[in-house]
């Protein structure tokens, strides 16, 4: 199984990219599998905190084991927030195809401030993205500017599929 690990900050069109991959017949997606772990290891007041902690595992070893034990798909697409990669051994990233989704920081912060009161640097994941990129740069991970998604979605998705050595499906656009 190929695991594509999207590492993003909030408000970067990561959900749109995840939905594109969810339309593939050979792919399953997991939306922010490390979110409960992040919430359980930080005293942060996030919307839906208690609901998330009650509905998702916060045990990082269990989460990673569940990811690698999947047998129900050829491709597993993980949508992760960079800042959720905290207080965990990150060696598992070595066995994934990693993609960084970035956005102009001015636009990112302005957008994020509309949904979170008093956002902090930690909340937007820029520093953590940089740290993760440096940690796995020997893999030559892809880095994608979210503005490119809006310019020509078909061209971008075809290029991503080519780089991931997987087939492009037209339904990824719907």
Domain ranges of the chain: 2-173
pLDDT in tens, 83-109: 999 999 999 999 999 999 999 888 887
Query: CATH says 2-173 is which class?
Result: alpha beta
Of 43 and 34, the one with more pLDDT: 34
Phi-psi region of 34 (alpha: psi -120 to 50; beta: other; left: phi over 0): alpha
Q: Is the pLDDT of residue 156 over 80?
A: yes
| Residue 127 or 112, more confident | 127
């Amino acid at each position: 199984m190929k695991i594509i690990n999207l590492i993003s900050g909030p408000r970067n069109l990561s959900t749109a990219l995840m939905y594109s991959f969810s339309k593939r017949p050979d792919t399953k997606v997991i939306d922010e599998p490390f979110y409960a772990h992040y919430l359980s290891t930080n005293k942060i007041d996030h919307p839906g905190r208690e609901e998330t902690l009650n509905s998702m595992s916060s045990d990082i070893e269990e989460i990673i084991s569940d990811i690698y034990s999947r047998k129900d798909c050829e491709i597993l697409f993980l949508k992760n927030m960079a800042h959720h990669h905290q207080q965990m051994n990150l060696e598992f990233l070595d066995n994934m195809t990693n993609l960084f989704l970035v956005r102009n920081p001015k636009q990112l912060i302005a957008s994020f401030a509309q949904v979170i009161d008093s956002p902090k640097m930690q909340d937007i994941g820029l520093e953590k993205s940089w740290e993760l990129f440096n940690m796995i740069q020997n893999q030559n991970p892809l880095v994608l500017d979210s503005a490119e998604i809006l310019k020509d979605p078909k061209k971008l998705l075809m290029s991503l599929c080519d780089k991931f050595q997987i087939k492009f499906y037209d339904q990824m656009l719907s």
